[in-house]
Homo-oligomer: A and B are copies of this chain.
Amino acid sequence: MGKEKTKTALLEAGKKVFLEKGYNNAGIEAILQTAGVPKGSFYYYFESKEDFGLQVINHFAAIYQSNIDLYFDNESLSPLDRLRRYFESICERLESQQCRNGCLVGNLSQEMAAQSEVFRARLEEIFQDWVNRYAEVLDQAQRLGEIPSHLDVHELAEFWLNSWQGATLRAKATRGTGPLRTFLNIMFGYILQVQA
């Protein structure tokens, strides 16, 4: 493998192992094995396990961001349909692995927020980026009259992110997408007052 390819393989293996075992419990050996990369090369690419953890987070934050863009910048859909299709796509992705893994950013926040200020600050920054994207699309929907004008789109975007994280957590506990479907029903039906 070339250098860039090896590094990407390690970052992808990191995500996989973090999702299965969490950060603290993830051994560097297991990450190297998952990536199929020889021992000893880890510290060529990363200064420390913390540096690696942050690079895994940044790598996947960029991928998640492009996935949001894919839906939210799709001008052939109405703002509300962009939002709906995006969350339905995550629902399908989580369902494809029986909702076992949840969300990398949510999992690591739960585990690391109190243990590492560096991780907490970076993860919260990513959450805020997502909230801003949700607020933008909700604002567009409101300007077009797709959702009620009395809604505070910034507050709602915060609530949306947090509640979705909770639904993802509960989906892990129930091993099914029920909590995600309930989320979509309540958010679209009761709050945005449109059919889910």
Residues of chain A whose beta carbon lies under 8 Å from any beta carbon of chain B: 20-22, 24-25, 100-102, 106-107, 109-111, 113-115, 120, 123-124, 127, 151, 155-156, 158-159, 161-170, 172-175, 178-179, 182-183, 185-186, 190-191
CB–CB B155/A162 < 8 A: no
11 new A-B contacts, CB < 8 A, other than A110-B110, A151-B190, are A20-B114, A21-B24, A100-B113, A102-B110, A113-B173, A113-B175, A127-B173, A161-B166, A162-B166, A162-B169, A163-B166
CB–CB A162/B163 < 8 A: yes
A84 to B80 alpha-carbon distance, docked (Å): 31
Q: CB within 8 A of A167: which of B25, B111, B163?
A: B163
A178 to B162 alpha-carbon distance, docked (Å): 11
CB–CB B185/A155 < 8 A: yes
Q: CB within 8 A of A114: which of B101, B164, B166, B182?
A: B101
Please indicate the chain B residues that have their CB under 8 angstroms from the CB of A113 in the complex: 100, 172-173, 175
Q: CB within 8 A of A21: which of B110, B115, B182?
A: B115
With contacts A169-B109, A173-B113 known, is A162 near B179, CB below 8 A? yes
Task: Identify the closest chain B residue to A124 (Cβ).
Answer: B173
CB–CB B162/A182 < 8 A: yes
Q: CB within 8 A of A155: which of B168, B173, B186?
A: B186
